[in-house]
């Protein structure tokens, strides 16, 4: 989601599955030479938000059950995951939020990665307030009026200014530049994680607390509570080219997949499955909801979705 990136039960926060890091090396088939058969190993990066985890878990379930591959899942921040294309540690990133500078570096300059197409899901990043605030202060959703309400958002961490709550410091965010360039009397405070954002957002809505926070769609949080998006200055192509001068909203994102060049060339059926993977926001929210709201492990959530949606995942299988 995210320029360095930008990203549960809902009320309690999101418990991301702990996935150990494995050794280096690209996808290998059973002969160890990167042929086109099954029975090899596929290394999927796991970035730290639940929607991504849903994508990866379903892809892994089909790779293992239907194509006979072993899948190694690696908990990696976004930019670190891209470095894995060069080191051989990562075969695929299965939900990429923009990252044009990383695409230029690894696809065009180093030529160690390639695009594997859209996931079928559109992404949106922005600033939100609880719905009760938008009803009580109707003009608060216009960023030009935020300074009028800055005192409502003061916290012990915001240095006497209003607070903009961000998440994981690795998430794609222009928020510090936005605060500076829009001359807002606010301080960006990092909550530290997706879980911290979710917990704060739910409390703000349920307990009618003031909160201005960075968040995104798709996310199952929006199915559980209502929030109003703040209208930042309209995004136009190129308005965010210089990260230090950004004074516009976030762009729309066509969430796509990026894979290593070696995996694209020699990953065989596994690569074809990742390339063919495409589903809807509703599909992703269903699996993410099993994880975030129903307490399922990612593996169990994926298996349930696979069992209920045979026609969808069969369309991803190599011909």
Fold matches, 10-122+254-314 and 124-245: yes
Three-state DSSP state, 184: coil
pLDDT tens profile 298-312: 999 999 999 999 999
3-state secondary structure 15-44: CCCCCCCCCCCCCECCCCCCCCCCCCEEEE
Tell which residue, 50, 61, 16, 74, has the closest CA to residue 260.
74
The answer to whether 184 and 178 have CB atoms below 8 angstroms apart is yes
Q: How far apart are CA 220 and CA 87, in angstroms?
A: 34
| Local confidence pLDDT in tens for the 319 residues of the chain | 433 333 333 333 333 333 333 333 344 433 333 333 356 999 999 999 999 999 999 999 999 999 999 999 999 999 999 999 999 999 999 999 999 999 999 999 999 999 999 999 999 999 999 999 999 999 999 999 999 999 999 999 999 999 999 998 888 899 999 999 999 999 999 999 999 999 999 999 999 999 999 999 999 999 889 999 999 999 999 999 999 999 999 999 999 999 999 999 999 999 999 999 999 999 999 999 999 999 999 999 999 999 999 999 999 999 8
Model pLDDT, residue 116: 98
Is residue 98 left, alpha or beta, with left meaning phi > 0 and alpha meaning psi from -120 to 50? left
| Domain locations in the chain as residue ranges | 10-122+254-314, 124-245
Alpha-carbon dihedral 46, 111, 266, 51, rounded to 10 degrees = 20
Can you name the CATH fold of 124-245? Answer: D-Maltodextrin-Binding Protein; domain 2 (3.40.190)
Q: How far apart are CA 63 and CA 86, in angstroms?
A: 23
Model pLDDT, residue 39: 66
Element (H, E) at 81: helix 78-87
Element (H, E) at 85: helix 78-87
Q: 294 — phi, psi (to 5°)?
A: -100, 0
Instruction: Please name the CATH architecture into which domain 10-122+254-314 falls.
Output: 3-Layer(aba) Sandwich (3.40)
Burial 137-153, CB ≥16 within 10 A → b, else e: eeebbebeebeebbebb
Model pLDDT, residue 172: 82
């Amino acid at each position: 989601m995210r320029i360095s990136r930008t990203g549960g039960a809902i009320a309690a926060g999101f418990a991301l599955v702990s996935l150990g890091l494995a050794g280096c090396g690209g996808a290998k088939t059973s002969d160890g030479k990167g042929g086109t058969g099954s029975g090899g190993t596929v290394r999927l990066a796991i970035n730290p938000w639940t929607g991504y985890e849903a994508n990866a878990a379903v892809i892994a379930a089909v790779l293992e059950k239907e194509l006979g591959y072993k899948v190694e899942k690696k908990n990696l921040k976004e930019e670190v995951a891209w470095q894995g294309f060069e080191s051989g540690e990562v075969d695929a990133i299965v939900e990429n939020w923009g990252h044009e500078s990383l695409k230029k570096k690894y696809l065009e300059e180093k030529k160690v990665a390639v695009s594997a197409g859209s996931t079928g899901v559109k992404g949106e990043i922005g600033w939100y307030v609880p719905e009760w605030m938008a009803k009580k202060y109707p003009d608060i959703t216009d960023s030009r009026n935020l300074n009028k309400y800055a005192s409502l958002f003061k916290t012990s961490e915001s240095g006497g200014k209003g607070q903009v709550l961000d998440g994981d410091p690795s998430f794609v965010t222009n928020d510090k530049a936005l605060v500076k360039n829009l001359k807002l009397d606010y301080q960006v405070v990092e909550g530290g994680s997706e879980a911290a954002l979710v917990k704060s957002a739910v409390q703000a809505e349920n307990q009618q607390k003031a909160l201005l926070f960075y968040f995104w769609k798709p996310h199952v949080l929006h199915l559980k509570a209502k929030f109003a998006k703040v209208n930042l200055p309209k995004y136009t192509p190129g308005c965010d080219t210089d990260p230090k001068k950004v004074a516009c909203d976030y762009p729309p994102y066509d969430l796509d997949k990026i894979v290593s060049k070696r995996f694209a060339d020699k990953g065989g059926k596994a690569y074809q499955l990742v390339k063919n993977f495409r589903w809807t926001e509703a599909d992703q929210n269903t699996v993410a909801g099993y994880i975030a709201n129903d307490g399922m492990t990612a593996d169990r959530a994926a298996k349930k979705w696979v069992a209920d949606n045979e026609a969808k995942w069969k369309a991803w299988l190599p011909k």
